[in-house]
Structure 1
Amino acid sequence: MANSGADKIKLYSYWISSCAHRVRIALALKGIDYEYIPVKLKGNQFDPDFKKINPMGTVPALVDGGVVINDSFAIIMYLDEKYPEPPLLPLDLHKRAVNFQAMSIVLSGIQPHQNMGVIRYIEEKVKINAEEKTIWVENAITKGFTALEKLLVSCAGKHATGDEIYLADLFLAPQIHAAINRFQINMEPYPTLAKCYESYNELPAFQNTVPEKQPDAPSTI
């Protein structure tokens, strides 16, 4: 399924943002053609033109004609309803609830604590050093990963809640990628999450949406 010309969806993104990464996966899974508009989160997120699109000055932001959505979860649910194949939520009510739980752990329990804006604010206000910053981030990730491992161990298949890709996977993949590549988290205590991550790395929708392959990624990382 593709959009073209004036109808093409616009995604305001930043290469290393795990929130934008989730949306890129959703767009790839749905086969939706879109225009990638980079927003550097160290300056031009405060540009007045971008603030008109998203007053929070954060990514992702999705523009679909006259529709503007500025939250990754809301964007993914919008895309899933507008483009229902493949579905991002299972029919089974228990599996659906597990997907929402996993999404929530990442969305509220992990990612906000490693967010660049939050870390910068803490550095400025509390004057923490690099070691303390690392401890802060590692604590949030390990606490969340411990909860996710317990949640998913009994229902995981190739992916988080079976052999199909669902909502939980869209949130897990960017979070695990960031944990390993940005924060050097040891995945040995989380075998279920590590197995899921291995399966993601075999799928084009995940391979092609990693931060390092985005047009605004630095040439040397």
Structure 2
Amino acid sequence: MSESTDPTGAGHKKPRRVVLKLSGEALREDGSQDNISPEIVGKMASQIVEALKEGVQIAIVVGGGNFWRGISASNRGMERATADYMGMLATVMNSLALQSMLEEMGVEVRVQTAIEMKNVAEPFIRRVAIGHLEKGRVVIFGAGTGNPFFSTDTTAALRASEINADVILKATKVDGVYDSDPAKNPDAVRFDDISFHEAISRRLKVMDSTAFSLCMDNNKPIMVFDMNEPGNLKRALLGADIGTLVHAG
């Protein structure tokens, strides 16, 4: 993403406002019995702080898979809505962990939840969230959309549309979107950028279908990048040309 091109096109300049989508598993160290690694969260937080210093407004949606996956529990016999609500609570725990680490680094943070829990977080209110961002605070959206049957990818797409973010940054374990699974096909080809329509026609799994449709309908580009590469989180937040940009074309 170059410094001088259209932030909604295949090239990006430094975005003004982003939604960063983190998986819950990203907060956990591989092979560890701990659900959250303070060291990993600290590394994430330090890169977020550096991007904030450059003037980027940052909202974050974090999953809960390091604690609980509603759909997995429902596949084992639990009632789906209940399992999903439990997953929403897991995202709040991750949100609070990230909030705590960022605050230790001197950043003002607000956690807003789609399920009201006054003792630990603010309720999600769109205008309040935008106000926090404009004041240089990080806003973390917890508890998903507040409804079962929706993923945190959908939460990221919804919140990005509501707060008018320039781009969704989807942090993953791969360095972009490929034409086939690179773990299974050594000849898989990575796209530098791809349109929403081409991603659909190729049946590429960028996000779940609900989230992807929201992004396409509201023209919210998605940058898919490898967050395990040192420094990549900061580079993505500052608009570097990494990963794959999925856009309107």
TM over 0.5: no
Q: TM-score, normalised by structure 1?
A: 0.31
